[in-house]
């Protein structure tokens, strides 16, 4: 009799694989590996410094990284993050001032600012981090975009460290890296080693999808996850904001959508003010907010607020009382979409909107005699994917008129809908194999985004982050030109089984594995090394208030103190 | 499934219980949505006649005839707890409403009937947890032999209160007679693989009480760390914990856990697993573990407790003497699972001993030799013991009152048959390893388990005294423990409390979805069963 999981109590299969050896590794083999990977130079007393270096664990690993064992001390009382003299940004750049404060607090905790007891600066001190924005327009008041330059250079040497970036977006990434370099020695003093880093993302689009329709996610949870995203250098929040079960987006143009379509008309909605706050909170962290309004399927909740928007399904010759996808044969449907997306295009500043287009169920359309008549008139025969394309085509024209670009799920491409050249195709299906789909999409000249291997709502026992980590978006057969069309990927946490109670620990640090795949060099693939850094990185997230779950047996110096 | 959620409420629950329904039941349906008793009581009758409860005037009081009074702290604590669950953080002085209306329920009288209410006692395997609850105007009456039954009845009463469309508190005319199907209903938490801060343990004891669990099986130490701070052997945690003071349970912490659990009618059974799973013990106690050999010289690694040294037994004698005084429960869990023989085999002194004893090469005989002596040591402390099934399987001689815990999924029915056939009491945890997660509604699998579904006589069936949901700690710590455990463990709670016939998954889904929202409202981050929402979502992180 075969009884797989319950056979061994503690010494489970994973444990055997990653057993005591792995466990020891955790304790004793710190950044050596990381440095080795990066071809760094090591100074003589490295081994003694090893223990302190335990705490560093850069995640995601920078592209070029050199560190030495020479350590400087940082005094929270005197250390400062300042604008470099040559910087084009200054004290009025709120995005940087906010970031200085945030990272100061991450590094030195809630230390009182007036504890300026220590005036003397020692020779071995690092007195400041200078942030030097080099381009004429630092983009202090801008929004991050697909084209944003996130590269930065960081040089840590006495008496000052210098962080150089073309604009604020690179500076934000560099501040995160700098904060990860600071560690406490055995006496609790803050240290940082002499370091040179030159860093940039491998992919421009590094996203997290959260689903606020299947379960409503209170603002607090969304904001906390934006914070965690910044800690992992993610730069896109794909907000799957509405779907069949509920419509929490409060529309000014069509207030009935949430009034009648949300789980509750005011406790379970996102007001315009909430949405603004999410966008601004994300902007402060260099994160784009791309909303998804998925049509024509996945729209059950829309039907509550908008009469005649959905197709009435028939049972025999009479309406059954249930409804299907958006009704594609009525002009009123397109009038609605025109007004609705006009609003969306002004509410969300990003250049892209995600239009969904996945999983359209044809059975309701098939049952409806008016639809049947329309099919005949249009000469579609019985090919309902032609009707779907007909709808999508008109929708794309509507959205194009708002000057927005669009992202769509792969079905829209698969069904041969005519797409603008800058359309991004979001690959999510397991069949056909995603490698084949990536090849097809890029061969047709479209930008591709990968999510298939990163459906983090799917859980299993053990260290599933390893497979997440191993997936590579460019791992398909194609030309260099095709590979270049892969702009990144997204980790998706669909909402069937997650809400505020379990979302954050389920997402982190599993999504961190995706973060490194999308940021770091292609060659960064050593799972053992990643384990060590990620275990520390998750403790860092815990220290910063994010309940990131453990990878395996072990402990954090400071355990999570929430619930 | 999704539609079911929306449209089929307590009707089913009532039907299952053969309750009577009054005419306007359908209109009341929506309010009744909120009730969702969990676990379902044994006998339950409800009517659509509703009474109002005013938080300003409603009181929970000791019945005049009750043997317990205002000095019974376990009840006073419980009155306060349940008042707050029902009416939130309402200010007590909001006594604006003096008038009592005819349709009001003015009080719940708690009537302890036996001469000794056990106010200062500890719950035990023999505790009587049955209670009778009658809700009718002007007073509801909760009748129980002692405080343990009263605690269960208070939880049920609090589950009966619901808010109507105007936000007013309502309760329906109800008669309940309830008792647990099994006496041992436990949750195992593992504080060795990850240290669990006190706050997390206490929160889960609260959640346990909401689900009528009555045993906290504290798997307190294991290979990776030894967080139990022993007064007799402080080096155990000093050198064996992840950190000597941030990652330990001090005597005061342990006392607090035990008292917090007692207030909720929950026994605390500590597990000190030997001779295997003891790597962390070796840090603090020299020569306790067997030195493993590589060829003819020690390899520097260590195996299970060294069973051939008298010093090992001297240590155990002193150690379990302490444990038996620190933990008031009549039982200690002694582990005894998964002993790896390879280290013993490698050690020449052990080989010699095997030969002297005439054990040949059967190392399970050596294991039994150790366990036998350990059991004698623990017996001398006047404690009973629980052990994992291997101890029974290996033929160790056990006291009659030993509880054998069946955890190996393979041939579980056969094991139950064997253990009970040999006359031992048993508890089941094999189907309820909640650390094993998978995508989807796995609670249904836990719910469908029938513990007595094995071939055996009625006498054998009676020896099954319960079960435990186990959350081993490889992948859980304070960040994710609570939502991973709840409401999945609630499925086990109903299986162990309610009647055998309560098996309708669709009905259970509806009640459990509401029950998890109730836990969320009470501050427990219990995760969702599926798509949907709670009136009040979790506001933590």
Judgement on whether residues A422 and A453 belong to the same structural domain of the protein: yes
Touching A: B residues 335-354, CB under 8 Å: 337-338
In this complex, the residue of A7, A221, A268 whose CB is nearest that of residue B408 is: A7
Judgement on whether residues A92 and A71 belong to the same structural domain of the protein: yes
**pLDDT (tens digit per residue) in B511-532:** 999 999 999 999 999 999 999 9
| Residue A115 pLDDT | 52
| Residue A30 pLDDT | 37
Judgement on whether residues A97 and A185 belong to the same structural domain of the protein: yes
**Contact (CB<8Å) A500/B338:** no
Band (A26; pLDDT cuts 50, 70, 90): very low
| Residue A44 confidence (pLDDT) above 60 | no
For chain B, what is the largest distance between any 2 Cα atoms, rounded to a whole number of angstroms?
89
Instruction: Report the C-alpha gap between A61 and A392 in whole angstroms.
Output: 41
| Residue A111 pLDDT | 56
Question: Greater confidence, A443 or A45?
Answer: A443
- The answer as to whether A43 is a domain residue is no
| Residue A7 confidence (pLDDT) above 50 | no
Judgement on whether residues A193 and A215 belong to the same structural domain of the protein: no
**pLDDT (tens digit per residue) in B340-390:** 999 999 999 999 999 999 999 999 999 999 999 999 999 999 999 999 999
ipTM of the modeled complex: 0.89
| Phi, psi (rounded to 5 degrees) for B181 | -70, -40
Judgement on whether residues A74 and A146 belong to the same structural domain of the protein: yes
| Residue A21 confidence (pLDDT) above 90 | no
DSSP collapsed to 3 states, A302-368? HHHHCCCCEEEEEECCEEEEEEEEECCCCHHHHHHHHHHHHHHHHHCCCCEEECCCCCCCCHHHHHC
| Residue A50 pLDDT | 47
DSSP annotation of B347: -
- The answer as to whether A310 is a domain residue is no
Q: Does B532 touch chain A (CB under 8 A)?
A: yes
- The answer as to whether B95 is a domain residue is yes
Q: Which of B338, B413, B414, B537 is catalytic?
A: B338
B203, B280, B537: which to substitute to probe chain A, counting the most A Cβ within 10 Å? B537
Chain A residues in contact with B540 (beta carbon < 8 A): 500-501, 562-563
Q: Does A266 touch chain B (CB under 8 A)?
A: no
Residue at which a domain ends, from A199, A228, A263:
A199
- The answer as to whether B141 is a domain residue is yes
**Contact (CB<8Å) B473/A557:** no
Band (A56; pLDDT cuts 50, 70, 90): confident
Instruction: Report the C-alpha gap between B148 and B117 in whole angstroms.
Output: 9
Q: CA nearest A23 in B: which residue?
A: B224
Chain A residues in contact with B435 (beta carbon < 8 A): 461
Instruction: Report the C-alpha gap between A412 and B10 in whole angstroms.
Output: 43
Q: How many CB pairs under 8 A join A and B?
A: 186
Domain residues for the domain of B162 are: 43-178
**pLDDT (tens digit per residue) in A262-278:** 999 999 999 999 999 99
**Contact (CB<8Å) B479/A218:** no
- The answer as to whether A544 is a domain residue is no
Judgement on whether residues A114 and A209 belong to the same structural domain of the protein: no
Q: Does A27 touch chain B (CB under 8 A)?
A: no
Touching A: B residues 217-236, CB under 8 Å: 222-225
Band (A209; pLDDT cuts 50, 70, 90): very high
**Contact (CB<8Å) B203/A549:** no
Q: Please give the average per-residue pLDDT across A537-555, as a whole number.
A: 97
Touching A: B residues 367-396, CB under 8 Å: 388
**CA atoms within 13 A of residue A156's CA, in its CB half-sphere:** 29
Judgement on whether residues A185 and A213 belong to the same structural domain of the protein: no
CB atoms within 10 A of CB A133: 26
Touching A: B residues 430-489, CB under 8 Å: 430-431, 433, 435-440, 472-480, 482-484
Mark B54-80 as b/e (b = at least 16 C-beta within 10 Å).
bbebbebebbeebbbeeebebbbebbe
Judgement on whether residues A297 and A446 belong to the same structural domain of the protein: yes
**pLDDT (tens digit per residue) in B20-67:** 333 344 444 444 556 799 999 999 999 989 999 999 889 999 999 999
| Residue B401 pLDDT | 87
Q: CA nearest B241 in A: which residue?
A: A555
**Contact (CB<8Å) B223/A10:** yes
Kindly report the pTM of this predicted structure: 0.90
A499, A510, A551: which to substitute to probe chain B, counting the most B Cβ within 10 Å? A499
**Contact (CB<8Å) A502/B523:** no
| Residue A185 pLDDT | 86
Judgement on whether residues A188 and A229 belong to the same structural domain of the protein: no
The tokens for A511 are: 């999504």
Chain A residues in contact with B480 (beta carbon < 8 A): 502, 505-506, 547, 549-550
Judgement on whether residues A414 and A287 belong to the same structural domain of the protein: yes
What CATH number does residue A133 fall under? 3.30.379.10
In this complex, the residue of B200, B242, B430 whose CB is nearest that of residue A563 is: B200
**Contact (CB<8Å) A267/B535:** yes
Instruction: Report the C-alpha gap between B421 and B482 in whole angstroms.
Output: 37
| Residue A6 pLDDT | 36
Taking alpha carbons only, the member of B214, B206, B208 closest to residue B85 is B206
Chain A residues in contact with B524 (beta carbon < 8 A): 563
Chain A residues in contact with B410 (beta carbon < 8 A): 1, 3, 6-7
Touching A: B residues 393-422, CB under 8 Å: 407-411
**pLDDT (tens digit per residue) in A436-467:** 999 999 999 999 999 999 999 999 999 999 99
Total domains present in chain A: 2
**pLDDT (tens digit per residue) in A471-517:** 999 999 999 999 999 999 999 999 999 999 999 999 999 999 999 99
Contacts of A160 (CB under 8 A, 6+ apart): A126, A127, A128, A129, A130
Among A7-11, A532-536, B475-479, where is mean pLDDT lowest?
Answer: A7-11
- The answer as to whether B2 is a domain residue is no
| Residue A19 confidence (pLDDT) above 90 | no
**Contact (CB<8Å) A550/B476:** yes
- The answer as to whether A213 is a domain residue is yes
- The answer as to whether A182 is a domain residue is yes
Distance from CA of A303 to the nearest CA of B (A): 16
Q: Which residue has the tokens 């991973």?
A: B484
Instruction: Report the C-alpha gap between A54 and A32 in whole angstroms.
Output: 9
Q: CA nearest B476 in A: which residue?
A: A550
* Helical pair A168-181 and A219-231, crossing angle rounded to 10 deg: 80
Average pLDDT taken over every residue of chain A: 90
Band (A563; pLDDT cuts 50, 70, 90): confident
Taking alpha carbons only, the member of B438, B429, B524 closest to residue B482 is B524
The dihedral sign for the CA sequence B266, B226, A51, A66 = negative
Judgement on whether residues A223 and A171 belong to the same structural domain of the protein: no
Band (A82; pLDDT cuts 50, 70, 90): very high
Q: Does A274 touch chain B (CB under 8 A)?
A: no
Is B338 one of the annotated active-site residues of the chain?
yes
Band (A13; pLDDT cuts 50, 70, 90): very low
| Residue A187 pLDDT | 86
Judgement on whether residues A135 and A233 belong to the same structural domain of the protein: no
**pLDDT (tens digit per residue) in A299-326:** 999 999 999 999 999 999 999 999 999 9
Name the pairing type of β-strands A310-315 and A128-133.
Answer: unpaired
**pLDDT (tens digit per residue) in B195-213:** 999 999 999 999 999 999 9
């Amino acid at each position: 009799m075969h009884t797989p999981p319950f056979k061994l109590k503690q010494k489970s299969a994973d444990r055997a694989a990653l057993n005591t050896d792995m466990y020891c590794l955790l304790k004793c083999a710190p950044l050596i590996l990381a440095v080795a990977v990066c071809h760094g130079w090591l100074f003589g007393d490295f081994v003694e410094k090893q223990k302190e270096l335990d705490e560093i664990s850069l995640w995601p690993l920078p592209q070029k990284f050199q560190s030495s064992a020479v350590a400087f001390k940082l005094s929270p009382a005197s250390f400062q993050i300042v604008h470099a003299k040559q910087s084009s940004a200054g004290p009025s750049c709120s995005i940087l001032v906010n970031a200085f404060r945030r990272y100061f607090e991450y590094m030195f905790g809630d230390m009182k600012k007036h504890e300026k007891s220590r005036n003397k600066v020692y020779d071995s001190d690092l007195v400041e981090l200078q942030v030097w924005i080099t381009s004429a327009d630092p983009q202090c008041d801008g929004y991050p975009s697909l084209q944003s330059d996130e590269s930065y250079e960081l040089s840590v040497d006495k008496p000052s460290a210098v962080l150089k970036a073309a604009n604020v977006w690179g500076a934000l990434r560099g501040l995160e890296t700098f904060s990860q370099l600071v560690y406490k020695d055995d006496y609790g003093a803050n240290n940082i080693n002499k370091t040179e880093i030159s860093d940039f993302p491998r992919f421009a689009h590094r996203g997290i999808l959260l689903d606020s329709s299947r379960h409503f996610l209170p603002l607090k949870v969304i904001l906390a996850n934006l914070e965690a995203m910044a800690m992992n250098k993610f730069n896109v929040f794909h907000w799957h904001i509405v779907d069949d079960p509920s419509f929490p987006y409060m529309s000014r143009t069509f207030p009935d959508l949430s009034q009648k379509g949300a789980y509750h008309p005011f406790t379970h909605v996102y007001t315009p003010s909430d949405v603004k706050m999410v966008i601004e909170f994300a902007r402060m962290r260099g994160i784009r907010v791309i909303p998804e309004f998925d049509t024509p399927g996945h729209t059950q909740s829309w039907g509550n607020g908008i009469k005649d928007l959905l197709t009435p399904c028939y049972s025999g010759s009479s309406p059954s009382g249930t409804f299907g996808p958006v009704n594609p044969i009525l002009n009123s449907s397109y009038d609605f979409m025109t007004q609705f997306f006009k609003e969306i295009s002004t509410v969300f500043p990003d250049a892209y909107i995600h239009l969904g287009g996945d999983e359209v169920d044809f059975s309701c359309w098939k049952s409806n005699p008016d639809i049947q008549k329309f099919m005949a008139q249009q000469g579609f025969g019985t090919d309902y994917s032609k009707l779907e394309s007909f709808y999508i085509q008109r929708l794309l024209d509507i959205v194009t008129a708002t000057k927005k670009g669009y992202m769509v799920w792969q079905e829209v491409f698969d069904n041969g809908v005519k797409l603008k050249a800058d359309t991004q195709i979001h690959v999510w299906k397991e069949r056909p194999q995603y490698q084949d789909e990536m090849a097809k999409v890029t061969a047709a000249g479209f930008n591709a985004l990968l999510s298939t291997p990163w459906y983090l709502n799917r859980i299993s026992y053990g260290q599933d982050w390893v497979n997440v980590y191993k997936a590579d978006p460019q791992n398909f057969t194609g030309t260099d030109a095709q590979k270049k069309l892969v702009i990144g990927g997204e980790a998706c946490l669909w909402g069937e089984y997650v809400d505020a109670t379990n979302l954050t620990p389920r997402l982190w640090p599993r999504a961190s594995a995706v973060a490194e795949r999308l940021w770091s060099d292609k060659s960064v693939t050593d799972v053992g090394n990643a384990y060590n850094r990620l275990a520390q990185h998750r403790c860092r997230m815990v220290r910063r208030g994010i309940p990131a779950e453990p990878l395996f047996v072990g402990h954090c110096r400071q355990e999570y103190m929430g619930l």
